[in-house]
Amino acid sequence: MRLTVLGSGSAFSTCGCNAGYLVDGRVLVDCGAPVPALVRRAATSIHAITLILLTHFHADHSFTLPTILGARAFADVTSAGMLVIGGPVGTREYVSRLLGDGYGSHIRNEVDVNVAPVYAVLQDGSDVELAGYRVQSHAVVHSTGPSLAYRVTDANGVSIGFSGDSEMCGGLRRSIAGCDLFVCECTGWDGPTPGGHLWSDEVAGLMVENPGTRFLLSHLAERHPLPGALVAHDMLSLEISSVAT
Ligand SMILES: [Zn+2]
């Protein structure tokens, strides 16, 4: 399972693009980074993406989605397959609003006709197969709701988890269990950060609680080392195998 970090920075960070993660070149988790350009640098294409998962509706996780949909709507590519967009309740309405506010009803209609995304409403406890991956969802606590953490598992049983944005909560803890790699937000470094985020001491505690899971710190306001963890940077690409193999 290959993970490519498109954006490792927090909402107002200058140390990396906003959130975006690519799994196997086909699954996109969050759309804050300038995805269309970065997927080319990752030697793939937005037309290869079959599943987009939104963790929540903040701008740094979603504002590039209209450009992805517009690019697919107007591309002269006939091989693009079905696109599933999964997210919290309200995702369809949120995406429609983004398209309409960003580009107007004409582009929204082009997307509806030429892309025709299929929406999957996800919520706490959802455990579904989407685009060939098992997707498990856990509600987390953030400054906007609803917000979800995801665990994405491939056909070989390899799992990558994504915290989204979250303060310490039960849903976050449940989302880590069993993951081979957990992409964990670490917005704060020296102390608690307002807005429903984690900071380094809390992440260090989660690592102690989950010794079988590798942690990749992301959504960073600044970049520091944390013993035992990987620290993300934009365009970092990792091949993830199961801890059992
Ligand atoms: Zn964020």
Ligand 1 centroid–CA 32 distance in Å is: 8
Ligand 1 centroid–CA 220 distance in Å is: 9
**pTM, 2 dp:** 0.96
How far apart CA 69 and CA 72 sit, in angstroms, is 5
How far apart CA 126 and CA 122 sit, in angstroms, is 6
Ligand 1 centroid–CA 11 distance in Å is: 5
**203 near 186, Cβ under 8 Å?**
yes
pLDDT block averages, 10 residues each, the chain of length 245: 97 95 97 94 91 98 96 76 94 97 94 95 98 98 94 97 97 96 96 91 97 97 95 97 65
What pLDDT sits at residue 243? 62
Q: Which 8-state DSSP code applies to residue 47?
A: G
Ligand 1 centroid–CA 184 distance in Å is: 11
pLDDT digits (tens, 9 = 90+) for 172-230: 999 999 999 999 999 999 998 888 999 999 999 999 999 999 999 999 999 999 999 99
How far apart CA 74 and CA 238 sit, in angstroms, is 32
Ligand 1 centroid–CA 161 distance in Å is: 16
What pLDDT sits at residue 229? 97
Ligand 1 centroid–CA 167 distance in Å is: 12
Ligand 1 centroid–CA 208 distance in Å is: 24
Q: Where are the domains of the chain?
A: 2-239
What pLDDT sits at residue 115? 94
Ligand 1 centroid–CA 5 distance in Å is: 14
CATH class, range 2-239: alpha beta
Ligand 1 centroid–CA 61 distance in Å is: 6
What pLDDT sits at residue 245? 42
Q: Where are the alpha helices (DSSP H) in the chain?
A: 35-41, 65-74, 91-103, 105-114, 170-176, 200-209
Residue closest to 132 by CA, chosen among 7, 27, 15: 27
Residues with beta carbon < 5 A to ion ligand 1? 11, 60, 165
Ligand 1 centroid–CA 132 distance in Å is: 27
What pLDDT sits at residue 145? 85
What pLDDT sits at residue 78? 59
- Determine what percent of the chain is predicted with pLDDT higher than 90: 89
What pLDDT sits at residue 242? 82
Strands, sheet with 214-218, edge to edge from the N-terminal-most edge strand = 127-130, 133-140, 147-153, 159-162, 181-185, 214-218, 230-231
